[in-house]
Amino acid sequence: MTLDIKKIKFLISEIKESIADIRKFIAVSQEEFWKDKRNILAVEHLLLRAIEATANICSHIAARKLQKGVETPTECFELLEKEKLINKELSTDLRKMARFRNILVHRYWEVDEKKVYQYAKENLVDFEKFIEIISKNIK
C-alpha cells in the first residue's frame, strides 16, 4: 500500500499549528503565564493535539509502508526506530511524549502542570525533528 501523502501533510500541518500556538502561550513570562489558568489548559490541549497527530502519522506509516499493525503509539515509535526511520534518541523522546499523553487523557487528575509547561518549553523540537524526518521520507 502507498502512503496517503495528503493525510500525512494534513497531520503535519496540525502539529505545526499546535507548536506555533504553544509558542505564543509560553512566550510570556512565567509569572504572566501562571496568572491565567486558561494558559495551562490551552497548552495541555495543544500538546495533546500534537502528540495525537504524531502518533497518527506513525501508525499510518507502520500500516501502509511497513505493513505492520501497532497497538500503541509507544510501540509504533519503537517500530520506526527498529526500521531505521527515526533514530533512538527521537524514538525515546516520542515514547515519553506518548506516555505523557496517556496521563493527559486517562489520568488527568495526576497531571503535573509544571511538567506540561516544561514539555512546552523544552520538547517542541521533538515534533519538529519528527516532521523533518517524515517529510524527507515521503518525498
pLDDT at 104: 84
Rg value, the chain, Cα: 15
Q: What's the pTM value of the predicted model, to 2 decimals?
A: 0.93
Q: Which of 104, 59, 101, 52 is nearest to 80 (CA)?
A: 59
pLDDT at 106: 82
Least confident of 6-10, 55-59, 117-121, 134-138: 134-138
Which tens digit of pLDDT belongs to each residue from 25-83? 999 999 999 999 999 999 999 999 999 999 999 999 999 999 999 999 999 999 999 99
Residue 139 reports pLDDT greater than 90:
no
Q: Where are the domains of the chain?
A: 5-137
Q: Which of 120, 13, 11, 104 is nearest to 59 (CA)?
A: 11
Which tens digit of pLDDT belongs to each residue from 119-135? 999 999 999 999 999 99
pLDDT at 111: 80
User: What architecture does CATH give domain 5-137?
Assistant: Up-down Bundle (1.20)
- Give CA–CA dist 56/51, Å, rounded: 9
The terminus-to-terminus CA distance of the chain in angstroms comes to 16
Reading the block at residue 74, the C-alpha cell is 509507544
